[in-house]
Structure 1
Amino acid sequence: MAGTVHKGRLFWLGVLALFTAAASLAIRGAIASGLKGEWIDPIAPLHAGELVAAALGAAFLSFSITLFVASALLDQLGMKRCLIGAGLCFIAGPLLIVTAGHVASGMGIYTLVWLGMLLSGIGWGLTEATINPLTAQLYPEDTTHRLNVLHAWFPGGIIVGGLTGFFFSDALPWQGIMALVMIPAAATVLIAATTAFPPPLREQSGVSFGEMLSEVFRRPSFFIWFGAMFLTAASELAPGQWIDVALSNRVGMRGILLLVYVNALMFIFRHFAGRLANRISNPGLLWVSSLLAAIGLFMLSQAQSPVTAILASTVWGLGVCVMWPTMLASVAERYPRGGSWAMGLVGSAGALASFFVLPQLGAMYDAAKVEFAGGPEAFAALTGAAKLAVEDAAASLSFQRLAILPLILLAVFGFVWLRERGKSRAALAGEAA
């Protein structure tokens, strides 16, 4: 492999593909308010929040399904084809979104927007299905650190995408901002098409396709990690997509700036998380992360000003920043014969979480705002400050309920951490004897 494959080029291709996926995610969140105001509010004013959240969630549905399928068939599909396909989806998806209002009317606009989000999610799924096992294959002795460094560029893409959405909002319509994703997408296609990839992972490891698929089923402990990934992603990704819609008016600053700030923390901290995990173990790091995430989400529900919002975002950001890559590394290290399939399964669980949780957030927000207003007719009659007050109260409630998820993770990771520490101590005692 060393003579034909350039590790550095492959690693940075993975960085570019993940950066594109993240920038697309951030820009979708940044333009959500403009999309809602221009196209969705006129169609369904009482359910606009739920519809927008469902459209944003469509990307997570296709991400999950694509990751599930492509991870199992990665060796058959080929890493090169998957990354080229990812780039093409990041071009086609935004095209559908930005042209929807010009080629359709009524709910047809929403349908095209939803399909555009779905295509963007397919690109994201192909990206994750490829770059995670590729990184583990290239750096088998340093998987946790390398995956954290790789995934540092996910918040890097969020930062660039979020700032693009903020600073270009006066110069470009939201459709123009969304279209900017096509630039790194085209670069991903070009570089992937001209890069040599290593042989299939199963060809190197000697693990058959059947053995890879059966690995996760013959070891039931895998499903603890599968369930935990559902909750960790819901604690990280769903609030990130919802924060601009729900908190901008409440705290007196654009929520997308809070998201950019949080991802700056992630970008920095993920470069050191692998070293920290070596000190306290992956489950220990995830337990601490869950505690901070729960506290941070509750603080976000109470934030009323830019200062309190930034403080709450700091706590939440430090909590969720290492969850995704550390979960992937934990699975790669504990279930090595599962290969790309095991990593893809937990990744798909994370994506499914956002697909289910985002519409629930939107529905919860819509129901609360109508209830606080005194009914549908009363809400429809609200304007100005009165309407904002009702929406702010509804946003607070949605974040309070979301904070329950990382509290569940405290019990899960606490159990795994104590169990593995007990095994380590028993092994050391046996060696001493």
Structure 2
Amino acid sequence: MKKPGSAVRPSSRTYVFQLLTVFVGFLVFGFSENIKGPAIPRIQFDFRLNEQQLGSLLSLNALGYLLACSFTGFLVRRLGIKAVSLLAFGSMALSGVLIAVSRTYPAFSASYFLMYIGNGMLEIALAILAARIFVKNTGTMMNLSHFFYGLSSTVAPLLASGLMSMSLGGFTLDWRGMYLIMLSLSVLPMLPALFSRFPGDTPEEKEQRPPISSLLRDRTLLLITLVLTFGVISELSIGGWLVNFLEKAYSWNVTEASGLLSLFFLCFTLARLFAGPITDRIGFTLSLALFAGASALCTFAAIVFGEPAAFLFAAAGIGIAPIYPTVMALIAKRYPRGSDIAITVSVTLMGVGSVIGNYLIGFLIEACKRLAGGGSLGLLRGLQAGYAFIGLCALASSLLSVALFRSLKRRGELL
């Protein structure tokens, strides 16, 4: 006869392994995506790449990332989330070894492409895994898991710079050794994944999943995807364009501008740590509308009131940070049996939208700069127009969330 509580221990231990896989996985994911900043100039110098070649390299890798996002959900249905998670972590660790030993540009670019394939697979795999295991306090746990991504993203450039200047046995690690060490961290979340079981992989659970065609025809999923896409365009664009805006519009030096960007990431990271309980309390769709609207308001106010209100650019991170994890929580609750495909569709379209969004910002800056007659004033107006587009994306995410709220409430399906 089993002792009382004996049946609980295995499930508790399994849940700990699941949490370690997700949390450490997001840490590794943040490192792998954000160590490239300090390394890119040295890679460019070593392989004698011009700006066009460098742009082509990054574009090709972005394509690999989107490609991986598009097929990972189908791999999960075929192989199971455990196998795909291990495959994603393993491919990233392998890419670190290949990058370290690459001595020609073709070998390096192929290794770098593999790393981005692994990154794309990992984003989808972690999102699906989190959607399956966080069945209680979903908003809180989703935001907490993405907090670890924000934490590692914040320190990744500093760690990368430190490692590249470090010497071991008389040899400087440089960017190759840095990639080897940082991507080898992918082995760590493989260990709890190996010793854990994950829901959704049994034959019985696979039979209960809705057909893919029904999810692709779901208008609510399309609306959720649009909320996510506009929110993430705003999120990524702030990180990509803020320093450039402050240096050129307000003549800040790089230290001052980078300091405000760091403040943005601090607000962003802390928001993901503390916003989760709010989303669980007031509901996911209402939270999305309020958070995205607050980010848009901060962005527009920062533009209108000028340099004295520049701190509002950083404050916008508080509103935009919970969008991605809250959408993942919404998908997890609405599509408990089909979250793999729902997440694959939404994240893939989000990635396409993000690429288009950055091109539109650059186009708007140049177009408005010419319309304003060029010069310093024209540049200022162009930069303001580009940044206003970032605010408009956050506003669009908020308004679409309101539409989603009304649609779900009308059908009695509000989450």
User: Structure 2: how far apart are the matches of 1:389 and 1:183?
Assistant: 48
Sequence identity (%): 17
Q: Distance in 2 between matches of 1:299 and 1:57?
A: 33
What do the CA deviations read for 1:367-398 (whole angstroms, capped 9, x no partner)? 88899997xxxxxxxxxxx9x99988865553
- Seen in structure 2, the aligned counterparts of structure 1 residues 359 and 121 have a Cα distance that, compared at 3 Å, is farther
Which residue in the other structure is 1:10 paired with?
18
| Counterpart contact for 1:251–1:303, Cα < 8 Å | no
Deviation at 1:73, TM superposition (A): 2.5
1:43 equivalent to 2:50? Answer: yes
In structure 2, distance between residues paired with 1:243 and 1:178? 27
Give the Cα separation in 2 of the matches to 1:389 and 1:161.
36
Moved more, 222-231 or 136-145: 136-145
User: Match for residue 219 of structure 2?
Assistant: 220
Amino acid at match of 1:351: G
Distance 2:327 2:119 in 1: 18
Map 1:169-248 to 2 at 5 A: 177-192=178-193, 194-198=194-198, 200-201=200-201, 203=203, 205=205, 207-208=207-208, 211-243=210-242, 247=246
Aligned pairs for 1:389-404 within 5 A: 397-404=385-392
SS of equivalent residue, structure 1 residue 198: coil
Partners of 2:237 and 2:390 within 8 A in 1: no
> 1:373/1:184 Cα in 2 relative to 1: closer, same or farther (>3 Å)?
farther
SS at match of 2:218: coil
Distance 2:22 2:284 in 1: 23
Residue matched to 1:383: none
Partner of 2:3: none
Deviations 1:342-388 (A, max 9, x none): 122212222222333345545666788899997xxxxxxxxxxx9x9
How far, CA to CA, are the matches of 2:147 and 2:90 in structure 1? 23
Aligned partner of 2:331 in structure 1 is 331
* TM superposition shift of 1:56: 4.4
What is the 5 A alignment of 1:84-233? 84-93=86-95, 103-104=104-105, 113=109, 118-165=113-160, 177-192=178-193, 194-198=194-198, 200-201=200-201, 203=203, 205=205, 207-208=207-208, 211-233=210-232
1:139-191 deviation line (CA, Å, top 9, x unaligned): 32332222111111110111121333566687685666555422422323455
1:39–1:128: structure 2 CA closer, same or farther, 3 Å change rule?
Answer: same
1:382 aligned partner: none
CA-to-aligned-CA distance 1:282-340 (integer Å, 9 cap, x gap): 122111222233244456768987x854x134322112110101011112212233231
Q: Report the equivalent of 1:409.
A: 397
Contact 2:224 2:404 in 1 (8 A): no
The offset of 1:125, in angstroms, is 2.2
Q: How far does the alpha carbon of each residue in 1:16-44 deviate from its partner, in whole angstroms, 9 at most, with x for none?
A: 12211112222224545x35974799724
- Quick one: distance in 2 between partners of 1:296 and 1:40? 42
The 1:164–1:22 alpha-carbon spacing in structure 2 relative to 1, beyond 3 Å, is same
Match of 1:431 in 2: none
Aligned amino acid, residue 354 of structure 2? S
Distance 1:262 1:129 in 2: 25
Aligned to 1:381: none
CA separation of 1:337 and 1:196: change in aligned 2, threshold 3 A: closer
Q: Normalized against structure 1, the TM-score is what?
A: 0.74
Match of residue 350 from structure 2: 350
Aligned counterparts of 1:183 and 1:400: Cα–Cα separation in 2: 40
- Give the 3 Å change call, closer, same or farther, for CA 128–328 of structure 1 in structure 2: same
| 1:49-107 Cα distance to aligned partner (Å, 9 max, x none) | xx54x65455443333322311123042233332233223334556677777x523xxx
Structure 2: stretches of 5+ with no match in the other structure: 1-6, 167-172
Correspondence list, 1:59-74, <5 A: 59-74=61-76
Q: How far is the alpha carbon of 1:224 from its aligned partner?
A: 0.9
Letter in 1 for 2:230: L
**Aligned residues of 2:228 and 2:397 also touching (Cα < 8 A):** no
Query: CA separation of 1:203/1:58 partners in 2, compared to 1, >3 Å: closer, same or farther?
Result: same
Q: Distance in 1 between matches of 2:411 and 2:363?
A: 44
TM (normalized to structure 2)?
A: 0.77
- Quickly say closer, same or farther: Cα 1:27–1:159, change in 2 above 3 A: same
Closer, same or farther: CA 226–89 of 1 in aligned 2, 3 Å: same
Structure 1: where are the runs of 5+ without partners? 375-385, 428-433
Q: Which has the higher contact order (CA 8 A, sep 6+)?
A: 1
Q: Which moved more, 1:14-23 or 1:71-80?
A: 71-80
Moved more, 125-134 or 252-261: 252-261
Are the structure 2 counterparts of residues 199 and 321 from structure 1 closer, same or farther at C-alpha, using a change threshold of 3 Å? closer
Q: In angstroms, what is the RMSD of aligned CA positions?
A: 4.1
Contact kept in structure 1, 2:132 and 2:332, CA below 8 Å: no
Contact 2:292 2:397 in 1 (8 A): yes
Q: Give, in angstroms, the shift of residue 217 of structure 1.
A: 3.1
- Look up the equivalent residue of 1:20 and give its one-letter code: V
| SS at 1:200 equivalent | coil
Using the alignment, how far apart are the partners of 2:94 and 2:369 within structure 1? 35
Task: State the secondary structure of the residue aligned to 2:115.
Answer: helix
Amino acid in the other structure paired with 1:124 = N
Kept in 2: contact 1:232–1:350 (CA 8 A): no
Distance 2:303 2:24 in 1: 34
| Distance apart, 1:269 and its partner CA | 2.5
Deviations 1:171-220 (A, max 9, x none): 6856665554224223234554x4232353464546445x2413313432
Instruction: Note the 1:368-383 alignment, pairs <5 A.
Output: none
